[in-house]
Amino acid sequence: MKQRQLSWPGCRANCWLIALLATLTVAEALPFLFTHLRPQINWTQLETQPWVVEEQPRSIEPHLELVPHPNRTKISASDASDAEFLQRLANQTATSRMLWNDAGGGDGLVYPPFVDRALRLLNLKQVAFEVENSLMSQVTCTACRAGAGMIQHQIQSGKTDADLIQMITDYCTNLNIQTARVCQGVAQLFGTELIYVLKRVNLSPDELCSFVIGDGCADVYNPYHEWEVIFPPVPKPPRLADLPIPMEAAPFFKVLHISDTHYDPHYAEGSNAECNEPLCCRLSSGRPATPNAAAGKWGDYRKCDTPKRTVDHMLAHIAETHKDIDYILWTGDLPPHDVWNQTKEENLAILKETVQQMVEKFPGVPIFPALGNHESAPVNSFPPPYVNQVDISISWLYDELDIQWRRWLPQSVTHTVRRGAFYSVLVRPGFRIISMNMNYCNNKNWWLLLNSTDPATELQWFIYELQSAEFSNEKVHVIGHIPPGHSDCLKVWSRNFYKIIARYESTITAQFYGHTHYDEFEMFYDPHDLNHPNSVAYIGPSVSPYYDLNPGYRIYYVDGDHDSTTRLVIDHESWIMNLKEANLYGYPIWYKLYTARAAYNMKALRPSDWNNLLNELTNNQELFELYYKYYWKNSPARPTCDAECKKRLICDCKSGRSHDRKHFCAEVESKIDQESSKSWKSWFYRGLTNSSEERTGDTATDGDNPFDLVIVNVGG
């Protein structure tokens, strides 16, 4: 069963590096078994730029001008001025924004005792499968530890960077882990960065792999990567027993959500879609061995990204079908998955081209973007601001993002975008959107090994924005790329984010992410009361079919400007294109796959309603199968889903805090195990009963039970 297979494509090259470094351990006869002294590096006191959150400019003027849409069936917005509306919306005079400050505030390389098992457990094919499918077991953990220990040993023994990179390339090629050009690209792009970081950290292989892999590799305590955000001394508003249901027939915003475009400028129809590389369907992929191996005109279910004609057709369809869009959420991942040979120049060119596409197709429509993990080169590489050397600084990307995003965003965002690619914009009176750079929670971002403590001060800034919003009676929507509960999100970062969501649950009314490529959601609960759901994260489907998926996008209906507005999502629709039929008939047709409330019989889309749905998905197999169909965007290539698959999917929905499934999933897993056991026992018992009756001639089978057919054939 392929599960969560799309969560790691961006980090696949990083993880190959771990896997092939593990093979070096075997080849070099594990020389790092012996104790080697490590120099003590004081990397915790990093020199940082002075940056005061409270001094940064804020967006305080409404950015979105309402446009009347007479064809809408619901009533239009009020004719009252923004000032009058805001005054009615506020229950009391807004308090001035508060500024606060924090009032309080082994010398040897001793390798863990797993190495005796390394030769028996080190199965590179299994490691590759687990890395690709984000199903980490002890085998991948062992490989990671062995690889990390090996490269640390080579660094300490005086190998040059060039020697290390060449060694990685040779082993990757000779062991056929990937093609020669992929091996060389991975070693050059990722090896240089990894070596740079490992030279500057004082972490054991256990600590390194626990950091990168998470709960799949034990939970090794590391005080250098344990930290807490600081909350202002302001009491949390009393929470409601449940949120009110948005009013029917009230004004609303129609919102488009596009994510994970992965536009491939080198896609070639008819090229090889079954190549032996991470990305196929290019002229460089070679000729297809059979007609069935040829890349389709509009895309392909195999490891291929989105051709330009498909992106153009989708945007034209949206512009024609949804003429009344009020604003757009664009949650990142623009470049393709050729992660072994990307350059900064090529990624910037894709950024500029896709921005221009959006400008031309949606003139005058505000767009609120978020940064994906693929925008950098190499992928997942996002050095925090204290890494300011010209050759490794991330300013090449953030400065260009500011230029491109300013087509839609106000000038007040410039400072935070250039610092960390995050921003806050007041969309309407009482309504704000905050865009987070989730790459600072990305545990495949090697730079966080140097210091993971609130990179770029993003979370502390986030708290300040939310506290200011709370004082001003604003509701907030949060957007980003990597969902905070996903296994790609660093545990300590996710834990702090989870606390922030809980503290400001009365302010944050929705979250929106991408990254997984699937159509799904994540739940958040009060950390002190897991029976109280306090937020929901909507994870939008990918435009890219990578892989085994249909292209798709989302439409949300958000509670609009009126006196009783909740700013909750009222409903959402998922739209897809059937890629198989598009390639078969030569023309794509985009259609609405489902509407959330109608499909799942939900009276509203509050956190409590989504929590109720989770309980129903656990107990109702027919409903779960419907969810599974929509999760895969009705792809004909989707695999079957057994009990383990069901547990993973429902647990993914329930876990808004990463690497902490034991707190959220035990009850769900127990229920599914019980149902699975009952189902199997019932099936087996019926089979035996029917078999016995058939043999004694008491009754005849009707052929409905597959087990009956087997018995009849054997007996006959």
DSSP letters along 425-436, please?
Answer: EEEETTEEEEE-
Q: In what order do the strands lie in the sheet with 252-258?
A: 367-369, 327-330, 252-258, 552-559, 569-577, 590-595
Yes or no: say if 284 and 266 are a contact pair by the CB < 8 Å rule. Answer: yes
CA dihedral 603, 594, 482, 544 (to 10 degrees): -170
Q: pLDDT class for 707, splitting at 50, 70, 90? A: very low
Which has the higher per-residue pLDDT, 520 or 43?
A: 520
The DSSP call for residue 557 is E
Which has the higher per-residue pLDDT, 30 or 365?
A: 365
Mean pLDDT of the chain: 83
Instruction: Name the class of domain 252-267+305-608+630-637.
Output: alpha beta
- Could you give the percent of the chain with pLDDT greater than 70? 78
Structure tokens at 602: 């939900």
Yes or no: say if 237 and 76 are a contact pair by the CB < 8 Å rule. Answer: no
Q: Pairing state of beta strands 552-559 and 252-258?
A: antiparallel
Give CA–CA dist 186/180, Å, rounded: 10
**Which residues are CB-neighbours of 667 under 8 A, at least 6 positions away?**
none
So where are the chain's domains? 110-213, 252-267+305-608+630-637
Least confident of 222-226, 471-475, 693-697: 693-697
Annotated binding site for Zn(2+): 260, 262, 333, 373, 481, 515, 517
Instruction: Give 327-370 pLDDT, tens digit per residue.
Output: 999 999 999 999 999 999 999 999 999 999 999 999 999 999 99
Collapse the DSSP code of 648 into the 3-class scheme (helix H, G, I; strand E, B; otherwise coil) and give the result. helix
Q: pLDDT class for 137, splitting at 50, 70, 90? A: low
**Which residues are CB-neighbours of 628 under 8 A, at least 6 positions away?**
638, 641, 649
Annotated binding site: 260, 262, 333, 373, 481, 515, 517
Give CA–CA dist 507/243, Å, rounded: 12
Burial class (CB in 10 A: 0-12, 13-18, 19+), 350: buried
Q: pLDDT class for 708, splitting at 50, 70, 90? A: very low
Question: Which amino acid appears at position 186 of this protein?
Answer: V
Q: At what angle do helices 395-405 and 344-361 cross, to 10 degrees?
A: 10
Enter the pTM of the model. Answer: 0.83
Instruction: Using alpha carbons, list the distances in angstroms from residue 387 to 163, 193, 372, 415.
Output: 25, 12, 20, 17
Structure tokens at 467: 């506290």
- What string of H, E and C letters represents the secondary structure of 440-478? HCECCCHHHHCCCCCHHHHHHHHHHHHHHHHHCCCEEEE
Q: pLDDT class for 676, splitting at 50, 70, 90? A: confident
* Residue whose tokens read 């054939």: 713
Kindly provide the residue ranges of all beta strands, DSSP E only, lying in 560-624, ordered along the sequence.
Answer: 569-577, 590-595
- Can you give the C-alpha Rg of the chain in angstroms? 26
